Amino acid sequence: MLEKEIEDDLEPYFDENNPIEDDYYKGIKSLIQCKYCNKILKDPMMCKECQGAYCNNCIDELNSDNHKCKKPSYDKNISAISLLKNVKYLCNNCKNEIKQENIEAHLKENCIKNENPTKLMDEIFRKQTLQKLNKDEIRKLSGENKIVNHLTCKK
């Protein structure tokens, strides 16, 4: 759920299903494509039995009808993670080409057209933090209706 919310926040800036189709991407496309949804891998996993690459979310939807392995088990797909870092995307905000591994830094610091370059990253950080907190911790934080800015540590 949280991953989907973060993707929605990034969507106006980067379309993760629409990379720049340069020679690098064309050369690795089959290695970074989910065998179930046929999209670019998100949180890549690999079946230990058949070495098939799947998105972590797609594994939940797989069943014996659409997976050739009888008892599949999965590990993080380290090779795909490494390959994905160098896939380039177009920033819809400033029109620069950005490697996947640099998207966060680009949005936070480098995007020349961002009026408030940390606003998006602050929101993503807040969602990730609140997701990890238990209900009592959330009540403590929200009790006084004060928001803590993680970059300045001020209320």
Give the domains, in start order, of the chain with CATH numbers. Answer: 1-16+101-155 (no CATH), 21-86 (3.30.40.10)
pLDDT in tens, 88-134: 999 887 888 999 999 888 877 777 666 555 555 666 566 555 555 55
Three-class DSSP category at 113: coil
Nearest-angstrom CA–CA distance, 110 and 112? 6
Q: What string of DSSP letters covers 33-49?
A: B-TTT-SB-SSEEEETT
Nearest-angstrom CA–CA distance, 123 and 6? 9
**Is 87:32 a contact under the CB 8 Å cutoff?**
yes
CA 132 to the chain's CA centroid: 17
Beta strands in 82-124 (DSSP E): 88-90, 97-99
Q: For a pLDDT cut of 90, what percent of the chain falls above it?
A: 32
Per-residue pLDDT at 2 exceeds 60: no
Structure tokens at 99: 């490697």
**Is 90:97 a contact under the CB 8 Å cutoff?**
yes
Per-residue pLDDT at 7 exceeds 70: no
Three-class DSSP category at 76: strand
Query: Closest Cα to residue 36, out of 46, 28, 27?
Result: 46
